[in-house]
Structures are given as C-alpha cells and as structure tokens.
Structure 1
C-alpha cells in the first residue's frame, strides 16, 4: 500500500476550467482569460532576454528583484513590501503554509475561489466558510474571527460584485489572524485595498498578471504586505520560483500602464454592453467588476444553457454547486465574440 498522508489520500483535487485542444475552433469564455494579447513590450523583453539562449543555462535572479522593484514603483511601496510569485496561487498556498499549521483553521466566503479549500487540505488545515446574504453581505460573521487566515476574493469570483473599502477595513479589525484580499480581478474594478496594507498590519493583498495583463500562460503573481510578512513568504517559496523569461515579461508588462488601461477599458465597455443584452433576453445579471459576468437564464437552468452553448462551440463556466448551478460565469471576450454569444443565447432561448 502506498503510504500517502491521510489528508492527501482523502481530498479531492481542484478541477480547472476545460481547455480544448483545438482552441481555435471555440469561443473560449470559461477561464477568464483576457481576449487581447499582452503588451508588445512583453515579446520584446522575452526576445531580448532569450538572445542566443546563453542566459537560459544560468539560474534566474532568485528574488525577482527587477520585477519587485517595478511593482513597488507602480504601487507606491518599498520593494521590501512586495514579493513576486509563480502565479498568485503560489502566494495563496504559501500564506497557508506560513500561517496555518495542521489542524488550524482558515476561512473564506462561499461562493468564491474554491481552490482555497484544496490548498488548505494539502496543508492539513481545517476549513470554515461563510455564506452570503441576498445583499451580498457576509452571513453570520463573528465579532472576532479567530482563525489563522481569512480569504476575501474582491471582486468576488464567480459572482463579480465588490466589497467597499470601508467594509474591508472594518473586516480587518474583526479578523484576529491575517486578512488576505485576493484581488485577481481588481484592475477591472473601481478601487482596491492597497491603502489598507499600510493602515492594517494584518492585511495582505494578492494580485495576478493572468487576467488584466494577459499573461495567464506565464504564471505570474505578486503580493503586497508588511515587510515581516514578505520576509516569511520569501523563506518558503521555491528559491528559483520565476524563470528568466517570466521575470522579463513581468517587468515589461507592469511598466506599460497605458496599454493595460486601453485593454481594461475595452473589456469594461464590452462588459456593460453584454450585460445589457443579457437583460434584454431576461437573464438575471449581477453587476460585475471583473472581466466576467454571472448570468442566470429565465428558467434558472444553467446546465441546459451550458450544454447548448457547448454544442455551438462556445465555452462558458458551469458550476454544479447548488448555490451556483442556476447560472453561468461568462468571461468577457472581444465584442465580436460576445455578439456571437448573444446570438446563440437568443437562439437557445
């Protein structure tokens, strides 16, 4: 018998969104990828770093110094407050490893990013979830939550709504451990929690370059927190966690804010148009601040519509969770892709 740890043997693995092999044959709106390419500076930086290939025989800079410095400059922090990672998932994992021992508790909002539970299971930590009221407020949250970590996905995924900064600051005072504000989609929203990192010692903000920066294929993320938190995360990350090409891509992408703003604005405009079209079709749509919407068909049968779209080679995300099965999460693609999706939804009825 293979002597696996009991919690690993018994846990379920996380199931990511379906990735078809013939991607070009599909309208792919299921994994919240950006429909536009990354900044042209990214390809230039990768080509420059690659050169004749000589650099690839050497290890990358262990702390990703240039990328940390660029992120720190962009967000107005000292580099000691910033860490780079192999996707923000690495940060979420290492935060649990750093703060929650086996049998200790972490918590998150349900529904939100279900991968928190998988990461907790790997560590052997216990999981507690807090539901939402019909006004998207936390249900039954205690005056003081005494678990080690509380994850707040803001904007919420898969629903798309945001919590105001005032609420997050209040919540930080009600969390005895660390409050991790997962801002994977924040560039599509109107405000962020970075000001709270300085005001509240227990706030950590995590970001990804997969969504707004169009770098899902490079696996890049970052966190901003007090230097003592960053130092702890530095201790436990893989010492060469970001390769040379990804580090060059991160610097180039973060430095081109004009390009970022242009892509984000196109997605926000398409999001507004698509939301309006869905409502014409009598879909319920939660106002979204992400690069996706959560939409409910009139008959509240998300699986029926998912299957019909799949037959038409349009991929969206369906969740079997009873709290979500009535609807679909639909990534905002190009205007042309969303027009085709609207036409398909009208045909499906």
Structure 2
C-alpha cells in the first residue's frame, strides 16, 4: 500500500467537462469555450517565438504580461501575477492563506473545483446555498474563515451580483474575498475598483473564455502587492512558457478584436435566451458566455441525452440543485440555430 496522505486517498477529484477525441463531429457547447479563434496577432506572436528561443527558459516573472495587464486594467505591475490558468492562482491562494484544518468557503452552486483544491490542502470546506433570489442562506454577520470564493458572474447559473453586494461581502469576511471573474468580460461591471480600495479583495481572471485561449492555459490575479508577493513565492518559478507569455500579451493588446468577439457572443446569447423563452423554457438572465436553462418538464437529463444523440454537447449536472436544467455554452449563431432546432424537435 502506497503511503498516500489520507485526504488524497479519500477525495474524489474534480471531473472536467467531456472532451471528445473527434470533436469536429460535434457541436461543442459543454465547456464554455469561445467559438471564435484567437486574435490573428496572437498567432503571429506565437509563431515569432517558435525557433531558437525555445531552448531558453522564459521570463520567470512574466513581466511583459504583468505590464500589459497593468496598462489594460489601470494597475502597477506589482499588483498583478500571471498564471498557468486561473486555476493555478486559486490553488496558490489556498496554499498561501489556509493551513491544514482551516476553513475555505464558497457559494453552492458555483465552481466546485474550489472544494477539490481545498481538500488537497487538507482544509475544511463550507458551502453557502442560494435562495430563490440568489442571496446566500445563513451567511453570518462575520465570516471568520480564511478564504471565501465568490464566482461573479456565477457559473453555472450565469447571474451576476452587483458591486454593492460584493463590497458588502468583503466587509463581512475576516479573511480574503476572492472574486473569481472568469466570465466578467461578458458582464457589464467588475470588482477591479474594489481591489484598489479593499486590501482583502483579490480578483482572478482567465484568458480561456473571452480571449479564446483555453488551449494555452493562461490566467491572472489582481490584488494588493503584499498578496502578489506571497503568491510569487509559491508559484512554479517558470509557470508560463514563452509561447503562453507571447500569446497573453498579444491578446490583451488587441482590444478591438477582443471587443468584437465579446459583442458577438453577447448578442447571440441574448437572442438564444429569448428564443428559449418562446419555447417556454426557464432561462436565468446570463452575464457569461453561456446560459443555464430548464425545459418545461424540468428534466435536464432527458434533454442532455437527446442532444448528445444528435452530437450536440451541453453540460448536465446531477446535483439536485441543478439537475432540472442544462448549461449551454454560446457558440456561433449557426451553431445556436442548429441547437435551437434540435430543442424544438426534442420538445
């Protein structure tokens, strides 16, 4: 018997969305990927890095990425850390702030990977359920745990808390409030101003959704410099390779292309949501690049399986809080028209 740590041996592990080998045969709307390619400038930047330079280590601090993000978001580079996907930042925040046996909390439903990361660290996990108005049930006047993760916009549901609520939460959390803004580029507001004003607020972002770079594994965090300094101590010293660093700088620099893609996804999302409502589906107003919707009979699994038979992939969650619906990523207009036609056929 291998001497595994008890918590590792007993934990289930996170299960990501299904990735078919022959993905070209499917309409793939199950993992919130961007349906449009990255900026052409990203491809140019990656190709420019291919060659002799790959035998050398990359810049350990990812300085160019931090500087470009600083220009884009209005922060000094000391407030920013680049990461191998935002998941790396989430993991390192737990490692930096939470000792074994201490508590991490998050909203349920939201990103269940928080629980996996906490279990790896040997931390306790606490969840706060949502009521029908999206308020947190039984949240204390003062939350004394070390980290509280707030996914905003929420995934998989898509709703977005106003910044007044986020600021109130920051004032009620004794430890660190991590605002996971994986989908914030599709929303109308974000928490970056709160980071400037409140030292216990950290914002995390990903390049997987709005920048079409899920395959590059890129993310970042924005926080007060002492938080960033701590995260820099514990990250892998070469956490971003040369190609990833070139891609993230080029992606952020091409804001015109970025806005075009985001606007197309928003427009398609709003059109698709309206069409689902015509079919008498219940659709949560979404601020992400997806919608969470429930068919009239509230049998999400039935619809998921029927779409799968038609080679349309969406995300079904067996959790009792979510099994009445499905999460549908927003693809191209053509993909969503085909999906809508399939839903009409399925009934």
Q: CA RMSD in A?
A: 0.4
Superposition pairs for residues 96-245 of structure 1, below 5 Å? Answer: 96-245=94-243
Q: Does 1:322 align with 2:284?
A: no
Report the Cα offset of residue 81 of structure 1: 0.1
Distance in 2 between the 1:272 and 1:58 partners? 46
Report the Cα offset of residue 198 of structure 1: 1.1
Q: Where has structure 1 moved over 6 Å in runs of 4 or more?
A: none
Distance in 2 between the 1:35 and 1:73 partners? 27
The unaligned stretches of length 5 or more in structure 2 are: none
Which residue in the other structure is 2:28 paired with? Answer: 28
Distance in 1 between the 2:8 and 2:329 partners? 32
Distance in 2 between the 1:23 and 1:11 partners? 30
Q: Deviations over 1:203-222 (max 9, x none)?
A: 00000000000000000000
Distance in 2 between the 1:255 and 1:140 partners? 43
Distance in 2 between the 1:24 and 1:133 partners? 39
Which residue in the other structure is 2:48 paired with? Answer: 48
Report the Cα offset of residue 138 of structure 1: 1.1
**Among candidates 89, 92, 104, match of residue 91 of structure 1:** 89
Q: Secondary structure at the match of 1:129?
A: strand
Report the Cα offset of residue 49 of structure 1: 1.2
Report the Cα offset of residue 48 of structure 1: 0.9
Distance in 1 between the 2:39 and 2:250 partners? 8
Q: Deviations over 1:92-115 (max 9, x none)?
A: 000000000100000000000000
Count of aligned pairs: 347
Q: Deviations over 1:287-339 (max 9, x none)?
A: 00000000001111000000000000000000000000000000000000000
**Among candidates 307, 315, 334, match of residue 332 of structure 2:** 334
Q: Secondary structure at the match of 1:173?
A: helix
Report the Cα offset of residue 284 of structure 1: 0.3
Distance in 1 between the 2:204 and 2:12 partners? 25
Scaled by the length of structure 2, the TM-score of the pair is: 1.00
Report the Cα offset of residue 260 of structure 1: 0.6
Q: Deviations over 1:221-272 (max 9, x none)?
A: 0000000000000000000000000000000001011111000000000001
Q: Does 1:37 align with 2:37?
A: yes
Scaled by the length of structure 1, the TM-score of the pair is: 0.99
